[in-house]
Amino acid sequence: MDTRITGFLYGDGWTYYNSQGEYYEVGFQQSMKNMKIYQHYKQLVLKAHKGYWRERVRKGRMELIIYSKKLYTILATVKGNPCKYFEELSAKDKVLFIAGLTDSEGCVSRREIAIYNSNRELLDEICLFLVLHGVNCKVKPNKNIWRIRVRSRESVNLFLKLIPAIKTLPPQVKPRRRNPRGEGPVSQSTTAWFCCGKLGGTDFQG
């Protein structure tokens, strides 16, 4: 699996299977303000894994669920030991993993970059990799989790050049979303499936 997808789903994704093993699912959500990120990773995931999928708006957030035993197994393995997974990646794939994790768990500005996670060991390994590439950073506690902080202007600029995360791209002016009839903004309170599909495959196990 593309390590950018892996990094993103490690941060924002979940896995689930029923006890009878009838289906395996992987899903993720993004708020409406992060539609660019949501659409980007939706396209990457559906291109990489052919199978059943469903999409909906739930409590003002976009949600995508993919039914795939293969994807479930990969992500469950990574979540079981993310530090080992990261250590075994090539330098190129480490950059992509960090990009995905930044899109899911990061806060990016011109003054500071932060990446949050509960796994201190993983953040230590990521921080070490960044330091080796000239990015000065530290892992600090943040309430009941941890975060990598990049604060100097030089290091922030280096991070932005090194890590190709969607959140590091220049912001664009967002047009006001309207419904198909042009009668005002689209409601974001709907909780209903509005799209589903099947891209190859023959069952819910992928």
What's the rounded Cα separation, in Å, for the pair 169 and 40?
13
Give the least confident one: 13-22, 24-33, 100-109: 13-22
105 part of a folded domain: yes
Sheet holding 24-31, edge to edge: 13-17, 24-31, 61-67, 52-58, 192-198
Measured CA distances, 141 to 15, 101, 116, 120 (Å) = 27, 18, 9, 9
Domain with 12, as residue range(s), is 3-168
CATH code at position 88:
3.10.28.10
Average pLDDT over residues 59-78: 93
Give the least confident one: 90-99, 105-114, 151-160, 193-202: 193-202
Of 77, 96, 127, nearest in space to 3 by CA: 96
192 part of a folded domain: no
Average pLDDT over residues 122-141: 97
pLDDT band for 10, please (50, 70, 90 cuts). very high
61 part of a folded domain: yes
- What are the structure tokens assigned to 106, written together? 């990061």
Average pLDDT over residues 126-145: 96
What's the rounded Cα separation, in Å, for the pair 141 and 144?
7
What's the rounded Cα separation, in Å, for the pair 60 and 173?
21
What's the rounded Cα separation, in Å, for the pair 24 and 205?
6
50 pLDDT above the threshold of 60: yes
pTM, to two decimals = 0.82
112 part of a folded domain: yes
Which helix (H) or strand (E) element contains residue 83? helix 82-87
182 part of a folded domain: no
Place of tokens 């000065």: 136
178 part of a folded domain: no
Give the least confident one: 21-25, 116-120, 128-132, 133-137: 21-25
Amino acid sitting at position 141: P
103 part of a folded domain: yes
Overall number of domains in the chain: 1
Model pLDDT, residue 38 = 96
Give the least confident one: 2-11, 78-87, 115-124, 195-204: 195-204
Amino acid sitting at position 119: N
Amino acid sitting at position 150: V
